[in-house]
C-alpha cells in the first residue's frame, strides 16, 4: 500500500476500526503541509489556523527544521538523559536559559505538555515539602492523572476519580480567593496558572492578576508555576507571555510549539528548585532528535522575527475579528498575538464545519469559542482570506 494513493475513506475506515476510539475527529485526513497550508487525501487545500493545536508555529514542513532533523537522524537519535551527556541537549538547555527571564536557568526535558506539568508538580512538592497545589477554574494543564488533577473540566476528571489529593481550584482572576487558598493548611506548594487560558476559551489574565499571584506566592513561600505550553515560543507576540507583564515564575512549563512539530516539552526552573537524583526521569526526555528540532525551531523564530510578526499580525487579525461583534450571535473577539478567539452566543460546531468546507481549519475552545492558532508565519493576505470566509459563514 502506497501512502500517496490512500483515499480519505480508506484512511478513515482503518482508523475507525483500529484506533482506541477516545478521539472524536473531523472527517478529514491531512496528508501534507507546507507553511500555513495543509492538504487532505483528496487534494483539497486548507489554510491551517489550527497548526496542530498551536504546534506548527514555524509552519508545516519548515525547511530549516526539516534539514536539522534529517541531519540529526543520521548522526544520533537517542541518548538516555539519565545516563549520558549529549552535545545537542547541552546546547538546547543553554538556549532555554538564554531565551527565558534570568532566574530561569535549569530545565527538565519532557516529551509532551502534560509531562512538563507532572515534572512541575513533583519539583514543587519536593522543593517545598508541601503538598497543596492551587489551580484555577477553566484551567487546562493536561490529561495524565497529576496534570488532570490541576485541569478544571468536570467531564475530563469525573470518570477517573479519585485524582491526586491536594489540588484546589479558585476562579481565574480573583486574587483574594487565590490568597485564601494558598494560605490554607500548611500553605500551598505551588500555584499553577496559564498566562492566557487556552483550551478553556482564550481568556486573558485580567490586569494585575499575574503580578498579584506572584506577590501572593512570595508572601506565603509558595512556588509560582506558569503554564506556557500553549502561549510559549512567540504565540502571544512575545517569546513568552509572562514578558507582557514582567513577572518571573519559579517554574515555567512549555511544549507545543517548542519542537516545530516534534514532541518535546520542558519544565524550566530557577536555581533552588530541585529534586534528589533519581526522584524523576524519562526515557525519551532530552533525546538528541527532539532537542535538535527544538534548537532549529527557536533559531528560526529568532532569525525570522516571528515574535514581532505574531504581535503585528495578531493585532491586525484581532482588529478584523472585533468587527464581528456587531453581529447578534457574536459575543466577543479577544486574543493576544496569534492566540485568538471569537466567542459566539451558541455552540460553534456547525461554523467550524462550514469554515472547513470553504478551506479554513480552525479550533474549538470551551464550546462557544472559535479559536485561531495559525502558524506565526501567516501573512496579512492569508488572514484576509480567513476573515472573508468567516464573514461568509457567520453572516447568515
Ligand X SMILES: *Cc1c(COP(=O)(O)O)cnc(C)c1O
Identify which range of 71-79, 111-119, 271-279, 355-363 contacts ligand X by CB under 6 A. Answer: 111-119
Identify which range of 109-117, 273-281, 301-309, 361-369 contacts ligand X by CB under 6 A. Answer: 109-117
Would you count residue 33 as binding ligand X (CB under 6 A)? no
Closest CA to 337 of 313, 368, 302, 366: 313
CB-CB contact of 207 with 271 (8 Å): no
Applying CB under 6 A, what is the total number of residues that bind ligand X?
15
Query: Whose Cβ is closer to ligand X: residue 69's or residue 229's?
Result: 229
Query: Whose Cβ is closer to ligand X: residue 225's or residue 377's?
Result: 225
Non-local (6+) Cβ contacts of 18 within 8 A are none
Cα 233 versus chain centre, distance: 9
Query: Whose Cβ is closer to ligand X: residue 115's or residue 382's?
Result: 115
Query: Whose Cβ is closer to ligand X: residue 48's or residue 227's?
Result: 227
Q: Which of 72, 86, 107, 114 binds ligand X (CB under 6 A)?
A: 114
Residues 166-195 binding ligand X (CB under 6 A) are: 194
Identify which range of 4-12, 113-121, 185-193, 364-372 contacts ligand X by CB under 6 A. Answer: 113-121
Q: Which of 35, 59, 142, 374 binds ligand X (CB under 6 A)?
A: 142
- State in angstroms the smallest separation of the CB of 117 from ligand X: 6
Question: What is the spatial distance between Cα 384 and Cα 13, in angstroms, rounded to a whole number?
Answer: 36
Question: What is the spatial distance between Cα 33 and Cα 31, in angstroms, rounded to a whole number?
Answer: 7
Q: Which of 106, 138, 141, 270 binds ligand X (CB under 6 A)?
A: 141
Residue 337 backbone class (left: φ over 0; alpha: ψ -120 to 50; beta: rest): left
C-alpha cell at 257: 510549539
C-alpha cell at 210: 499575574
Degrees, nearest 5: CA angle 289-89-141: 80
Residue 374: how many CB atoms within 10 A of its CB?
A: 30
Closest CA to 90 of 81, 82, 99: 81
Identify which range of 9-17, 42-50, 137-145, 286-294 contacts ligand X by CB under 6 A. Answer: 137-145
Residues 247-286 binding ligand X (CB under 6 A) are: 255-256
Beta strands in the chain (DSSP E): 30-34, 37-40, 45-48, 104-110, 133-136, 167-170, 190-194, 196-197, 203-204, 223-227, 251-254, 265-270, 330-336, 339-344, 360-361, 363-365, 369-372
CA distances from 60 to 29, 34, 97, 290, 391 (A): 15, 5, 26, 16, 26
Residues 229-248 binding ligand X (CB under 6 A) are: 229-230
Nearest-CB residue for ligand X:
113
- State in angstroms the smallest separation of the CB of 372 from ligand X: 15
Query: Whose Cβ is closer to ligand X: residue 253's or residue 389's?
Result: 253
Query: Whose Cβ is closer to ligand X: residue 58's or residue 147's?
Result: 147
Residues 192-231 binding ligand X (CB under 6 A) are: 194, 198-199, 227, 229-230
Active-site residue numbers? 140, 227, 256
Question: What is the spatial distance between Cα 256 and Cα 144, in angstroms, rounded to a whole number?
Answer: 16
β-bridge mates for residue 360, sequence order: 47
Identify which range of 12-20, 30-38, 134-142, 273-281 contacts ligand X by CB under 6 A. Answer: 134-142
Would you count residue 110 as binding ligand X (CB under 6 A)? no
Q: Which of 62, 112, 136, 320 binds ligand X (CB under 6 A)?
A: 112
Residues lying near ligand X in the complex (CB under 6 A) are found at 112-114, 117, 140-142, 194, 198-199, 227, 229-230, 255-256
Amino acid at each position: 500500500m502506497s501512502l500517496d494513493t490512500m483515499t480519505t475513506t480508506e484512511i478513515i475506515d482503518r482508523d475507525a476500526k483500529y484506533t482506541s476510539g477516545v478521539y472524536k475527529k473531523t472527517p478529514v485526513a491531512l496528508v501534507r503541509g507546507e507553511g500555513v497550508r495543509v492538504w487532505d487525501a483528496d487534494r483539497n487545500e486548507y489554510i491551517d489556523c489550527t497548526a496542530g493545536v498551536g504546534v506548527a508555529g514555524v509552519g508545516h514542513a519548515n525547511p530549516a527544521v526539516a534539514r536539522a532533523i534529517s541531519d540529526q537522524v543520521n548522526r544520533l537519535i537517542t541518548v538516555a538523559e539519565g545516563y549520558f551527556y549529549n552535545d545537542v541537549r547541552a546546547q538546547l538547555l543553554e538556549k532555554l536559559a538564554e531565551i527565558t527571564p534570568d532566574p530561569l536557568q535549569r530545565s527538565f526535558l519532557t516529551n509532551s505538555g502534560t509531562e512538563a506539568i507532572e515534572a512541575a508538580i513533583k519539583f514543587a512538592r519536593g522543593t517545598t515539602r508541601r503538598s497543596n497545589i492551587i489551580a484555577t477554574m477553566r484551567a487546562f494543564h493536561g490529561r495524565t492523572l497529576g496534570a488532570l488533577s490541576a485541569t478544571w473540566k468536570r467531564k475530563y476528571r469525573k470518570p477517573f476519580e479519585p485524582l491526586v489529593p491536594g489540588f484546589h481550584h479558585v476562579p481565574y482572576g480573583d486574587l483574594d480567593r487565590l490568597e485564601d487558598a494558598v494560605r490554607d493548611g500548611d500553605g500551598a506548594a505551588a500555584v499553577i496558572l496559564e498566562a492566557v487560558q487556552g483550551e478553556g476559551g482564550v481568556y486573558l489574565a485580567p490586569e494585575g492578576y499575574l503580578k498579584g499571584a506572584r506577590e501572593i506566592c512570595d508572601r506565603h513561600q509558595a512556588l509560582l508555576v506558569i503554564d506556557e505550553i500553549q502561549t510559549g515560543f512567540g504565540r502571544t507576540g512575545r517569546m513568552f507571555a509572562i514578558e507582557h507583564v514582567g513577572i518571573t515564575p519559579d517554574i515555567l512549563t512549555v511544549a507545543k510549539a517548542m519542537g516545530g512539530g516534534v514532541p518535546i516539552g520542558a519544565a524550566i526552573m530557577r536555581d533552588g528548585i530541585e529534586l534528589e537524583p533519581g526522584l524523576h526521569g524519562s526515557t525519551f526526555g532530552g533525546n538528541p532528535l527532539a532537542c535538535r528540532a527544538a534548537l532549529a525551531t527557536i533559531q528560526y523564530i529568532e532569525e525570522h522575527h516571528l515574535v514581532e510578526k505574531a504581535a503585528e499580525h495578531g493585532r491586525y487579525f484581532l482588529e478584523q475579528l472585533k468587527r464581528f461583534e456587531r453581529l447578534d450571535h457574536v459575543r466577543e473577539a479577544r486574543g493576544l498575538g496569534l492566540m485568538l478567539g471569537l466567542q459566539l452566543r451558541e455552540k460553534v460546531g456547525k461554523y467550524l464545519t462550514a469554515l472547513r468546507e470553504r478551506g479554513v481549519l480552525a479550533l474549538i475552545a470551551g464550546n462557544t469559542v472559535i479559536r485561531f492558532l495559525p502558524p506565526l508565519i501567516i501573512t496579512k493576505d492569508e488572514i484576509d482570506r480567513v476573515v472573508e470566509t468567516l464573514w461568509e459563514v457567520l453572516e447568515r
